[in-house]
Amino acid sequence: LPLVQVGSKSKPIYFPVELCQVANCQRYNKKLKACQTTSIIRFASTDAPTRNLKCIDMVKKSNFNSDPFLKSFGVQIKAEPMIVDGRVLPPPRLEYGKGNGGRQIILTPKDGAWNSNEFKFFESASCESFAFVSFLPPHKASMLQEFCLQIVRTCRSTGIVMPDRPKYYEQAHKNDSVEMVFKRIADKCDRDGIKCDLVFVALFSSEQYAQVKSCGDITFGLVTQCILPRTISDVAVKKSYSTMLNIAMKINMKIGGINTKLQEDENNALVIGVDVVHPSAVETHLPSIASVVGNVDGSVTKFHASVKIQPAKQELITGFIEQFSDRLLEYVDVNGIAPKNIIVYRDGVSEGQFMQVLEEELPALRRACKSFASNYRPLITFIVVQKRHHARFVCCHEAAARGRGKNIPAGTVIDRVVTSPNEYDFFLCSHHGIQTDAILCVV
């Protein structure tokens, strides 16, 4: 008899399923499917002026100025949003490879995006051999063949050296697991003494992605490029150049190339990214994962990372000195010199934890530098980035708005009036909002 357990582990209480009903409007804490996430984004997407008008309407309906509690403290709230000045930073110039005639390709982004009729990567990688794994039905083979043809053609146009066709093609059978299919590819490479530089994986659904990355990155050490059916159709049927170019950019970086670099490089800088990922409310048995990533080259284009687990829900990183020291030593090994500047981007820190991070992680950085060399004192910039705030900005003049979302221009900085008088904080719109109103990061 199927039963529902509603009690505790020590005192279980069971009810027959037939006598139970699922209550409506319950919060769902688990990960949503890709189609559900897409539906929510589409439902919630609203352009910036419309959202601004809705906020004004909500404030007017709330009638805060009639609230006796607020009146007793002399607090008044205006229905209209306040007007603040902002400035748009000049976009960085991006250096690509040499195009036709040996001319260096230099692009300047506009509205947070850039494009060119001619794309040559700054440093194009070489792919001596690649494999293809398909979890799609066998009758899709001809479409996958056309996909390969178009991708190879695009990769070559950007400078990547690549063979005409895959060295190995593996069609997954009905009862094959991801690991079984990858093992067949790995065994063939070992048998023939061939190093497979890249494995394309045609996924049946996005739910397979985590398994593929686990097998590729951890179990077999194979570089993978996953493709969904919709992407395959965009390339093989619609011949979408932007989709093909995006895939080529991913491939080039994964196999050791450099797509582009800033024309005005930071002078000998080590850029560090730090974050801690916590388990969800229902994943009580899982630990938190702390990661530290940093560049190993002077042009800040190639990054290495270290990942460690620590007690769940702990934001401060355990063993931060060791993880940072790894990034510093790798930088020195590659460049032969210690960085003069260290820039740290720290994510996931709430305002209540600012002082704790300042008192623990920043001194840990300095101790790591001192352990490298007693006289080593680089300039350290420690930046905390947040997006979980409720500040929204919209252009006063419609002509200044950008894109479908009618957002403020990419690169806009607001560092007055709505910022702290005591801290060096500012709001930055660092990207172009595509579908909805852009959320600025506060730094």
Q: For residue 388, what pLDDT is reported? A: 82
- At 33, the pLDDT band (50, 70, 90 cuts) reads confident
Average pLDDT, whole number, for the chain?
A: 91
Overall average pLDDT of the 254-263 stretch: 92
Residues in the chain: 443
> How far is it, in rounded angstroms, from Cα 178 to Cα 208?
8
Q: Is the pLDDT of residue 150 over 90?
A: yes
Grouping H, G, I as helix, E, B as strand and the rest as coil, residue 368 is helix
Overall average pLDDT of the 219-228 stretch: 96
Overall average pLDDT of the 346-368 stretch: 88
Q: Is the pLDDT of residue 282 over 80?
A: no
Q: Is the pLDDT of residue 436 over 70?
A: no
Which residues lie below 8 Å from residue 31, measured CB to CB, with a gap of 6+? 280
Cα-only R_g, the chain = 26
> How far is it, in rounded angstroms, from Cα 122 to Cα 112?
20
- At 368, the pLDDT band (50, 70, 90 cuts) reads very high
> Two tokens at 259?
């797509």
Grouping H, G, I as helix, E, B as strand and the rest as coil, residue 412 is strand
Q: Is the pLDDT of residue 439 over 80?
A: no
* All structural domains of the chain with their residue ranges: 124-257, 266-442
Grouping H, G, I as helix, E, B as strand and the rest as coil, residue 299 is coil
Q: For residue 370, what pLDDT is reported? A: 93
- At 38, the pLDDT band (50, 70, 90 cuts) reads confident
Q: Which strands sit side by side in the sheet containing 224-227, from one edge to the other?
A: 168-171, 130-134, 198-202, 224-227
Provide the pairing of β-strand 303-310 with 168-171.
Answer: unpaired
CB 327 within 8 A of CB 365: no
Q: For residue 216, what pLDDT is reported? A: 95
Which of 433, 414, 425 shows the shortest CA–CA distance to 87? Answer: 414
- At 112, the pLDDT band (50, 70, 90 cuts) reads confident
Which ranges of 336-388 would DSSP assign to H, the alpha helix? 354-372
- At 266, the pLDDT band (50, 70, 90 cuts) reads low
Q: Is the pLDDT of residue 102 over 90?
A: no
Ramachandran quadrant class, 268 (left: phi over 0; alpha: psi -120 to 50; beta: rest): left
Higher pLDDT, 44 or 426: 426
Grouping H, G, I as helix, E, B as strand and the rest as coil, residue 125 is coil
Q: Is the pLDDT of residue 422 over 90?
A: no
- Taking every pair of C-alpha atoms in the chain, what is the biggest distance, in angstroms? 82
Q: For residue 43, what pLDDT is reported? A: 86
> Two tokens at 16?
């027959």
Q: Find out if CATH 3.30.420.10 is the number for domain 266-442.
A: yes
Q: Is the pLDDT of residue 304 over 90?
A: yes
| Percentage of the chain modeled with pLDDT above 70 | 98
- Mean pLDDT lowest among 64-73, 204-213, 259-268: 259-268
> How far is it, in rounded angstroms, from Cα 292 to Cα 271?
10
Beta pairing partners, 52 = none
Overall average pLDDT of the 283-293 stretch: 90
> Which CATH class for the 124-257 domain?
alpha beta
> How far is it, in rounded angstroms, from Cα 386 to Cα 392?
14
Q: For residue 45, what pLDDT is reported? A: 84
- At 283, the pLDDT band (50, 70, 90 cuts) reads confident
Higher pLDDT, 273 or 283: 273
Overall average pLDDT of the 345-350 stretch: 87
Overall average pLDDT of the 318-327 stretch: 91
> How far is it, in rounded angstroms, from Cα 215 to Cα 136?
18
Q: Which residue bears the tokens 């990419």?
A: 410
- At 265, the pLDDT band (50, 70, 90 cuts) reads low
Overall average pLDDT of the 289-302 stretch: 92
> How far is it, in rounded angstroms, from Cα 213 to Cα 307?
16
Per-residue pLDDT of 127-142, as tens digits, reads 999 999 999 999 999 9
Grouping H, G, I as helix, E, B as strand and the rest as coil, residue 75 is coil
Backbone angles phi, psi at 54, to 5 degrees: -65, -40
Q: For residue 8, what pLDDT is reported? A: 87
Q: For residue 382, what pLDDT is reported? A: 92
Q: Is the pLDDT of residue 321 over 80?
A: yes
Beta pairing partners, 340 = none
Give the global pTM. Answer: 0.84
Q: Is the pLDDT of residue 401 over 70?
A: yes
Overall average pLDDT of the 205-231 stretch: 94
Is the dihedral angle over the CA atoms 265, 266, 269, 270 positive or is it negative? Answer: negative
DSSP symbols for 5-62: E-S-SSS--EEEGGG--PPSS----SPPPHHHHHHHHHHH---HHHHHHHHHHHHHHH
Which residues lie below 8 Å from residue 2, measured CB to CB, with a gap of 6+? 16, 17
> How far is it, in rounded angstroms, from Cα 149 to Cα 132?
12
| Percentage of the chain modeled with pLDDT above 90 | 67
